[in-house]
Chains A and B, each alone.
Chain A
Amino acid sequence: MQLLKRSCRIIGKNLIKIVSLLLAVSIIAFALVCASPVDPVQQYILGLGTAVSPERRAAIEEYWGVGQPPVQRYLNWLSNLLQGDMGESSLYRRPVAEIIGERFVNSLALMLCAWVLAGVLGFVLGCVMGMYQDRWPDKILKKICYILSSVPTFWLGLLFLMIFSVYLGLFPVGFSSPIGVKSEDVTIWQKLHHLILPAFTLSLMSFANIALHTRQKLIDVLESDYVLFARARGETELEILRRHGLRNILLPAVTLQFASFAELFGGSVLAENVFSYPGLGSAVSAAGLNSDVPLLLGVTLFSTLFVCVGNMIANVLYGVVDPQTRGAER
């Protein structure tokens, strides 16, 4: 009962924060775009390539509130946004909400695969490093982790593309489905086949972080008195890991994984660009390069929401599920 109340309070607090952050991001992003030399109306018409009727132009101008003071324009835009109208992309000629919805599914598949892979791989390797502290498996893996954290994601993607796709021909060079096949005919296996390389690249970026964190936590646990006592009782190392280690390190690792949504999204922008994967990340860079203001604003807000939800889950996990913080009031 108390737990329920507590979790409600934490979730409520976080929801208020998310709303305030989203509002602030929308204000800042809108102000920035207003200050930029790009005129969204002009851009839209330019992108069309043909002359527009005066009525159409008036409709677009009304959407952006041309001729009104900035605050009024913002409020206008915001109320449209809240009704689900995020404007029309000048690059893809479709409503932004539709594009985001469609591409997010692609991105989600990619990020989810990478996230799970990075989590599992990082956690297992972190455990191995912790168990073999300062012996050769630990030393080698630690070196790999350090090197990986200074390798740019996109370069790694390039290398993989070169080795596995161009030379070995094991994986397709890009896109999320085979070229020349209708989207209805694409099988799940083909999709997965296109997903493996980007997901693996993306997961390599974040796995070092979680592995090093898990390693440190496990070492802390293994140095504690209760593990010393367990050793004295004659427990094997595996038993110690299972009984004392995992319980203490699993939750912080999961929390950390949820809190890393920002890096995940940032990495997916790069990975999707390298592999020409049609997700949100490639949409945002295309939007920036082609001055597609509505799409840029939309993806910025959406990615903020995505990151904030991840942070909220991390906070809730930390505050509610973890027995060590559960007992302490506030």
Chain B
Amino acid sequence: MKKLNRRAKTLFLCLCLGLLLLLVYVSGILIPESAYAPDFMAARLSPSLRHPFGTDTLGRDLFWRTVKGLSVSLTVGIVASCISAVAALFIGIGAAVGSKRVDSFISWIIDLVMGVPHTVLIILISFVMGRGLKGLLVGIACTHWCSLARLIRSEVMQLRSKDYVAVSRKLGKSGGWILVNHLLPHLLPQFIVGLILMFPHAILHEAAVSFLGFGLPPEQPAIGIILAESMKYLSAGIWWPAVFPGLTLVLIVFLIDKLGDNLRRVLDPYSAQE
């Protein structure tokens, strides 16, 4: 077999990670509710071949609950970080292209959002929207755009001072034409990487807020809820509901993080040819 170079290897790794995530997501959608239905005969079983993660106090299979929960987490992560990233793109470009007043107003807004601890802000928003998936999505989308917006703003600022942009302007091209033809192609890799790196944060926040009891209703399978339930039985020596779902979450988050890092390496023209 021909030895793969680094770029091909990275791409291959990205593909594998993407497929794995897709698998978790799809299987989460496809599994029937009966897979994690309560079965009181099989309550509190420790991990075995039949129940890889064991069962909880109601006899629900924790493995399928975890997979289902992860797929919910991934959905929340995807939707929230897409909204957040698109908002960041517009806000960042707006700050860089707009007048000085617009710029300072946007940076003030960013300071405002960064000024309230994210957990508190998500709790507030989720409280106002009556808890549940919607509040969670809005809360996470509202809090995660700040750093990407800052990044995009500084990037656009740099691009605007480039010669080719100045030449374009002298040639009489409109601001919109320059935006689409000169700025966006440069911003796209940054944007995609920013989006993917936002993803783990969104998922972690989703888990944290459902753990606190906001977000999804308790009968729904979600990692945060499983972990919150497991707390009650911790002192009874039932360790598996706390360990395995959490470990899976860590693994998924870690994989997405890695995916983002690798994609950055491929997309960034400075390191793509290494």
Interface string of A15-42 (1 = CB under 8 A from B): 0010011001100010011011110000
Known contacts A24-B112, A150-B250, A154-B208; A270/B120 CB under 8 A: no
The answer to whether B212 and A270 touch across the interface, beta carbons within 8 angstroms, is yes
Whether A25 lies near B120 (C-beta < 8 A) is no
Residues 177-234 of B at the A interface (beta carbon under 8 Å)? 200, 204, 207-208, 211-214, 227, 230-231, 234
Instruction: Tell me whether B257 and A146 are in contact (CB under 8 A).
Output: yes
Given that A155-B227, A155-B249 are contacting pairs, would A25 and B115 also be in contact in the complex, using a CB cutoff of 8 Å? yes
Choose one: A33, A149, A273, A308; the contact of B128 (CB below 8 Å): A33
Interface size class of B (residues with CB under 8 A): 35 or more
CB distance from B12 to the nearest CB of A (A): 21
Residue B254 lies at the interface, judged by CB distance under 8 Å to chain A: yes
Residues of A in contact (CB 8 Å), total 50
Q: Report yes or no: A158 in contact with B116, Cβ–Cβ below 8 A.
A: no
- Answer whether A296 and B127 are a contact pair too, CB < 8 Å, given A154-B208, A155-B250, A162-B242: yes
Q: Are A25 and B234 in contact (CB under 8 A)?
A: no
B269 within 8 A of partner (CB):
no
Identity of the chain B residue whose Cβ is nearest the Cβ of A29 in the assembled complex: B124
Given the complex, which residues of A lie within 8 Å of B254, measured CB to CB? 146-147, 150
Q: How far is the CA of A255 from the CA of B68 in the complex (A)?
A: 42
Give CA–CA (A269, B214) in the complex, Å: 13
Cross-chain contact A162 with B234 (CB below 8 angstroms): yes
Closest chain A CB from B256 CB (angstroms): 8
Which of the segments A49-57, A113-121, A238-246, A282-290 contacts the partner chain?
A: A282-290
User: In this assembly, does A211 line the interface, its C-beta being within 8 Å of a C-beta of chain B?
Assistant: no
Judged by DSSP, the binding face of B is: helix
Q: Which residues of A contact B35 (CB under 8 A)?
A: none
Expressed in whole angstroms, the minimum distance between the Cβ of B116 and any Cβ of chain A is 5
**What mask results when residues 306 to 328 of chain A are scored 1 for a CB within 8 Å of chain B, else 0?**
01100100000000000000000
Query: In whole Å, how far is A304's beta carbon from the nearest beta carbon of chain B?
Result: 5
CB-CB under 8 A from A274, the residues of chain B are: 231
B117 to chain A, nearest CB (A): 4
Whether B120 lies near A300 (C-beta < 8 A) is: yes
B237 within 8 A of A: yes
Question: Which residues of B have CB within 8 Å of A12?
Answer: none
State in angstroms the CA–CA spacing of A146 and B208 once bound together. 19
Whether A159 sits at the interface, judged by CB under 8 Å, is yes
- How far, in Å, is A70 (CB) from chain B's closest CB? 15
Q: How far is the CA of A155 from the CA of B254 in the complex (A)?
A: 15
A66 to chain B minimum Cβ distance, whole angstroms, is: 19
Q: Given the complex of chains A and B, what is the CA–CA distance between A166 and B208 in angstroms?
A: 23
Chain B positions within 8 Å of A311 at CB level:
111, 114-115
CB distance from B229 to the nearest CB of A (A): 11
**In contact, A307 and B242 (Cβ under 8 angstroms):** no
CB pair B250–A288 under 8 Å, yes or no, is no
Residues of chain B within 8 A of A159, CB atoms compared: 242-243, 246
User: Which of A152, A262, A284, A285 is close to B118, meaning CB atoms less than 8 Å apart?
Assistant: A262
Q: Which of B116, B129, B239 gathers most chain A CB within 10 Å?
A: B116
Residue of B111, B114, B120, B231 with most partner-chain A CB within 10 A? B120
Given contacts A37-B130, A146-B257, A161-B234, contact A284 B115 (CB under 8 A): no
Q: A162-B239, A166-B235 are in contact. List 20 more A-B contacts (CB 8 A).
A: A25-B116, A36-B129, A38-B127, A146-B254, A149-B257, A155-B227, A158-B230, A161-B234, A262-B115, A263-B117, A263-B118, A269-B212, A270-B119, A281-B119, A288-B124, A288-B214, A289-B214, A291-B127, A296-B124, A304-B116
B residues with a Cβ closer than 8 A to A are 108, 111-112, 114-121, 123-130, 200, 204, 207-208, 211-214, 227, 230-231, 234-235, 237, 239, 242-243, 246, 249-250, 253-254, 257
**Which residues does A use to contact B, with CB under 8 Å?**
17, 20-21, 24-25, 29, 32-33, 35-38, 146-147, 149-155, 158-159, 161-162, 166, 173, 262-263, 265-267, 269-270, 273-274, 281, 284-285, 288-289, 291, 296, 299-300, 303-304, 307-308, 311
Q: Closest 5 A-B residue pairs measured CB to CB?
A: A266-B119, A155-B246, A265-B117, A150-B253, A36-B128
Question: Can you list 22 contacts pairing A with B, beta carbon distance less than 8 Å?
Answer: A21-B112, A25-B116, A36-B127, A36-B129, A38-B127, A150-B257, A152-B204, A155-B249, A158-B242, A158-B246, A159-B242, A159-B246, A262-B118, A265-B117, A269-B123, A270-B211, A288-B212, A289-B212, A300-B120, A300-B121, A307-B114, A311-B114
